[in-house]
Amino acid sequence: MVVALWAAATDRFYIEDFTISPGESRTVSILLDNETAYTAFQSDVYLPEGLTATNFALTNRKSNNHSFTATVLPDGGIRLLSYSLNLKTYSGNSGALVTFDVTATEEFVGPEVVALRTTLFTTEAGAEIPFANETCTVTSASTVQPGDVNGDNEVGISDVSALIDYLLGLGDDWFNTEAADVNGDTIVSIADVSALIDILLGID
């Protein structure tokens, strides 16, 4: 088998940056942008603490002759392996080739990095093409409701009292400063009291 020492200049196997909320599950795609036609590949996926991956599958870019496996490695990575005994190529030149489900723990806080390493594709002629390692950034979407400063899952007059207490230095440990930034200017101030009252009065 011929081993190539370069990757096709414009070919990439990668994951786009994405956002996930604590406790959420979502489907993520691994995309292949390729000028060269490929019949097989392997790649190792590494996820940070707080994220797990399941349900790896090839998309409809595969042929009926493509086999696919996803196996956990001793170092915690997940090796993806796909091939065609009849040397059928993956269809198209862009878009998702693999999808999988990502689940975040309730404690997950981003940003974190998901990495694709030791990616290798094979051409119809048997050449092995190594791809560059890729990373994507995973950010944690906020599940905080603006104005719910006392954490009771409701926005009410008690939140106004809690916010005023906080500004007077009387706040307690349960006070949620992220929810208290009602106007989104990254500063908790009297302006947030006004914004919270507007919410309660139904004023945009």
Query: Which percentage of the chain shows pLDDT scores above 70?
Result: 92
d(CA 146, CA 178): 8
Instruction: For CA atoms 59, 63, 64, 68, give the dihedral sign.
Output: negative
**Candidate from 66-70, 142-146, 171-175, 191-195 with smallest mean pLDDT:** 171-175
pLDDT greater than 50 at residue 199: yes
Mean pLDDT along residues 80-87 = 95
pLDDT for 47 beyond 90: yes
Residues of the chain with CATH 2.60.40.680: 12-140
Indicate if the pLDDT at residue 39 is higher than 90: yes
Cα–Cα distance for residue pair 100/120, rounded to 1 Å: 19
**Whether pTM exceeds 0.85:** no
Encode pLDDT of 128-153 as tens digits. Answer: 999 999 999 998 876 667 888 887 87
Question: By percentage, how much of the chain surpasses pLDDT 90?
Answer: 61
Burial class (CB in 10 A: 0-12, 13-18, 19+), 135: middle
State the pLDDT at residue 82. 98
Decide which of 3.10.620.30, 2.60.40.420, 2.60.40.680, 3.40.50.1100 is the CATH code for 12-140: 2.60.40.680
Q: What's CA 191's distance to the chain center, in Å?
A: 34
What is the mean predicted confidence (pLDDT) over 30-35?
97
DSSP bridge partners of 27: 101
Tell me the pLDDT of the chain averaged across its residues.
89
Question: According to the model, what pLDDT value does residue 133 have?
Answer: 97
